Structure 1
Amino acid sequence: MVDVILGLQWGDEGKGKIVDYFASGYDVIARFQGGPNAGHTLYVDGKKIVLHQIPSGIFHDNKINLIGNGVVLDPVTLKKECDAVESMGINCKKNLYISARTHLILPSHRALDKASELAKGNDKIGSTLKGISPSYMDKTGRNGLRVGDLLDKSFISQYIKLRLKHQKLLDNFSFNEDISTWEEEFFEALEFLKQLQIVNGEYFVNDAIQKGKKILAEGAQGSMLDIDFGTFPYVTSSNTITAGVSSGLGIAPQKIKEVFGITKAYCTRVGSGPFPTELDDENGELLRKTGMEYGSTTGRPRRCGWIDLVALNFACMINGVTQLVMTKADVLDAMDILQVCNNYKINGEETNQVPFQMMRSKVEPVYKKFSGWKTDITSIKNFNNLPPEMSAYINYINETLGVPVKFISNGPGSDQIIVAS
């Protein structure tokens, strides 16, 4: 049996805490796409840790954590992450597995990412400059190097060949930075990577399913950043939706059961791109300040706005979401009035569909107002004890999306989750 947890907005929905919460009920936690541009924040024994590539079940003893073939892996970031995790008493060599088909991010991928973004000038898409896009480009261009290639005696010659190709591209960008120190760090990290458990991920995970193990597939970024269905071109380079589980782990679609979709109680976005419900006023600033909305990977302040049910309905549809998890509901405690976008107005006409290209149309959100609950909800444990104003807010979302909110995160603590009976 395979269940999926993924974000329904533009990332930063709080997936790390939620995966950590659910992990105890599963045998295998597997990342199926993305790279070190992900930032899944956990609090372990009161200490904050941000995971970029390691699955968020790593702190659960005797749980298997798999980095799937749909991920692009930066060995340097992985080594630093493993060092941080091991400093907290976890042995990564024991319960972390990596698919041999996982593509590697090279130092020259990072350089290409930076050079390309700089060349865009005012048309930047807001890349995290981690080398994600160039690595996926080499994957689809059939040039990339994979984790399994490390075990081949021809790896160095393959690396040099690809590195020379990248250098020609960098020369076209007039990129003159010396990345030799990046390469030294990279090759040191490769030696560490070789010590981890490299497996045929697709056989590994299907064997676990055959044995009756419970698999939790962990997504990165968010559905509105999907390369096909997101707000293109302001998207990531992978399929962030449920379909990505099949291609990113080698799991047949009929094996998937529950799809847990995570949404904040409001909306945020990092970087460029359309954001219909964005607030450039005191409400937006209050959301940012109260929610501590700064990118866990980049540190950039997040753009903030009201919840967008048009986009959420779209995300639920393409993912087949069966249960909703709402995070950061406590951030709304201080708000007098809440607004919910339930339609878009485009060229004077209302629609409940996400347009093909948001950037080419003036998209105006159509709002429904709700009274704020003006109550501290951080200690509530039961849905029945929600303030009536909050119940009205949740019920409207349930009815509009046709998918129930089953879990509400009401604080950063691992125990601060309200579960529907």
Structure 2
Amino acid sequence: MPALVLLGAQWGDEGKGKATDLLGGSVDYVVRYQGGNNAGHTVVVGDQKYALHLLPSGILSPGCTPVIGNGVVVDPSVLLSELSGLNARGVDTSKLLISGNAHIITPYNVTVDKVTERFLGKRKIGTTGRGIGPTYADKINRVGIRVQDLYDHSILTQKVEAALDVKNQMLTKLYNRRAIAVDQVVEELLEYADKLRPYVADTVLVLNQALEENKVVLFEGGQGTLLDIDHGTYPFVTSSNPTAGGACTGAGVGPTKISRVIGILKAYTTRVGSGPFPTELFDADGDALRRIGGERGVTTGRDRRCGWFDAVIARYATRVNGLTDFFLTKLDVLTGWDEIPVCVAYEIDGRRVEELPYSQTDFHHAKPVYEYLPGWNEDITKAKSFSDLPKNAQGYVKALEEMSGAPISAIGVGPGRDETIEINSFL
């Protein structure tokens, strides 16, 4: 079955948009299977830069059908704004499909997210404040609003009433906020119904039929492996499963239909938000990585925390996702360093640890153990093949491949669509 999963192998922001866009012209469907508009992809096409937050990157590829799966949480206002922005730039968005089972981010979910994060103070998680976590909580608590509910006024009203029975108690008595009116929420949500109707479909059926017809389907994860609710650096994680298993539940496609799992690795490491980060830099090198790499969140606008490459995390991502390939991005950012540190293990209480510790306490106290690889000064942005890279850049890639446990099949040497070295085809 020609089904591929493409996901972040670190804390997100690895350049999944570039990788998805590279494959977009060769696949029939690109599917977002989890997360919401807390994710962000930057795709550069020619001299045009596109910032996508909720839409699958494949929407920029003519002939490709973009799909928002049932595992995604959808803010209708953000989605419609993003569609409008692309249409104004001449991008055809008419082929978009949205699962009727995807959950809606309501105004009260956003309110709860913001007031809860403020209430936590120093213990805050570092959420984007866009209502993602509370919407997933409603889903699990079985009081969530789904896209299909927009087309049944009675069901929608009953569900909003049920959700606000509890939330208004919390908002008024705990957070000293005003109660939210049921009618106001229902009215606002119903305004989106007709605008979304042309896109709503039984995406589980569509995708499975496509695979039966030997169509190529690419499943695109948001965030990254270390932000997975089960397998990430809990509690500093997202509220869904960006790992490969999430593609099955978030799109309704069985695991036996997935043929390849591609992990996106940045040539160094970044993360946004709170939580442990063993290789984080607080010096001039960290500032240089941030400046040269343009490390600012697409969705949040926050500066990303920067550090050297962490092979322990890469090996962990290979294991929990069953990765078959890596796409290494932003290799060009490392040009100019005489030597480049790579974290090969951790030191925890005097012990050398080569695998990611399962204990949150141990990970918080992990100190990086570095090996130093020779750097390069040559411009690599024009490289078209692996042999075009300087010898030290080749050596860096080979070392990362050996440490990470899966072959590096493509290398990003610049932000542009054509600034990629393809070593092995993903299809």
Deviates more, 1:167-176 or 1:112-121: 167-176
Q: Which residue of 1 aligns with 2:79?
A: 78
Q: Hey, what's the Cα distance between the residues in 1 that align with 2:348 and 2:213?
A: 51
SS of the equivalent of 1:168 reads helix
Structure 1 segment 300-319 matched on structure 2, within 5 A: 300-319=302-321
Among 261, 264, 270, which residue is 1:262 paired with?
264
What's the CA shift for 1:359?
4.1
* Structure 2 counterpart of 1:403, from 402, 406, 421: 406
Find the residue that maps to 2:153 and give its secondary structure. coil
* Alignment partners' CA distance in 2, 1:317 and 1:80: 38
Cα gap change, 1:45 to 1:416, in 2 (>3 Å): closer
1:414 maps to which of 406, 412, 417: 417
How far the C-alpha of 1:202 sits from its partner, in A, is 1.2
After superposing the two structures, state which structure 1 stretch, 23-32 or 45-54, moved more: 45-54
Residue 285 of structure 1: how far off its partner (Å) = 0.6
| 2:33 alignment partner in structure 1 | 32
Larger mean Cα displacement after TM superposition, 54-63 or 33-42: 54-63
- In structure 2, the partner of 1:144 is 144
User: How far off its partner does 1:124 sit?
Assistant: 1.0
1:393 is the counterpart of 2:396: yes
Code of the residue aligned with 2:163 in structure 1: it is L
Q: Which structure 1 residue ranges, 4+ long, deviate > 4 Å from structure 2?
A: 177-180, 182-186
In the TM superposition, 1:199-278 aligns within 5 A as: 199-278=201-280
Closer, same or farther: CA 96–338 of 1 in aligned 2, 3 Å: same
2:42 counterpart SS class: strand
The Cα of 1:165 is off from its aligned counterpart by 3.0
Q: In the alignment, which residue of structure 1 is the partner of 2:8?
A: 7
**CA shift for structure 1 position 246:** 0.6
**SS of 2:97 mapped into structure 1:** strand
Offset from partner CA, 1:324-368 (integer Å, 9 cap, x none): 101111110122220111111111111111112344552111100
Distance 2:9 2:290 in 1: 19
Tell me the equivalent position of 1:285. Answer: 287
The more displaced of 379-388 and 159-168 is 159-168
Return the offset for 1:258.
1.0
Greater shift, 185-194 or 407-416, is seen at 185-194
Taking a change above 3 Å as real, the CA distance of residues 85 and 179 of structure 1, as seen in their structure-2 partners, is farther
Q: Partner residue of 1:334?
A: 336
What does residue 131 of structure 2 align with? 131
Contact kept? 1:119, 1:173, Cα under 8 Å:
no
Alignment partner, residue 122 of structure 1: 122
Q: Is the 8 A contact 1:69 1:249 kept in 2?
A: yes
**Partner SS for 2:223:** coil
Provide the secondary structure at the position in 1 that maps to 2:58.
coil
Could you tell me the TM-score, scaled by structure 1's length? 0.96
Q: Which amino acid aligns with 1:288?
A: R
After superposition, the C-alpha distances for 1:14-60 in whole angstroms (9 at most, x for unaligned) are 11111011111110110000011000111234222211111100011
Residue 327 of structure 1 contacts residue 410 of structure 1 at CA under 8 Å; is this kept in 2?
A: yes
> In 2, are the aligned partners of 1:375 and 1:387 still within 8 Å (CA)?
yes
Shift of 1:149: 1.1
Instruction: Report how far residue 157 of structure 1 moved.
Output: 3.7
Counterpart in the other structure of 1:173:
174
* Number of positions where the alignment pairs a residue of Structure 1 with one of Structure 2: 420
CA contact (8 A) 1:116 1:173 kept: no
- Matched-pair contact (CA < 8 Å) for 1:266–1:305: yes
Instruction: Name the stretch that deviates more: 8-17 or 165-174.
Output: 165-174
Q: 1:183 to 1:175 in 2, by over 3 A?
A: farther
Corresponding position of 2:200:
198
SS of the aligned residue for 1:246 comes to helix
Q: Is the 8 A contact 1:265 1:307 kept in 2?
A: yes
| Structure-1 separation of matches of 2:168 and 2:180 | 11
Shift of 1:267: 0.2
Mapped partners of 1:223, 1:357: distance in 2? 17
| Separation in structure 1 between the aligned mates of residue 109 and residue 188 of structure 2, nearest angstrom | 12
Q: Aligned partners of 1:373, 1:403: CA distance in 2, in Å? A: 24
Structure 2 residues not aligned, in runs of 5+: none
Counterpart-to-counterpart distance in 1, 2:175 and 2:404: 49
Counterpart CA distance in 1 for 2:29 and 2:132 is 25
Q: Which amino acid aligns with 2:399?
A: Y
What is the SS of the residue equivalent to 1:9?
Answer: coil
Deviations 1:95-130 (A, max 9, x none): 100111101100000000001100111011110001
Residue 223 of structure 1 aligns to which amino acid in structure 2? Answer: T
Contact 2:401 2:407 in 1 (8 A): yes
Given that residues 76 and 186 in structure 1 are in contact (C-alpha distance below 8 angstroms), is that contact kept between their aligned partners in structure 2?
no
Question: Identity percentage over the alignment?
Answer: 41
Alpha-carbon distance in structure 2 between the residues aligned to 1:316 and 1:90: 35
Aligned Cα root-mean-square deviation (Å): 1.9
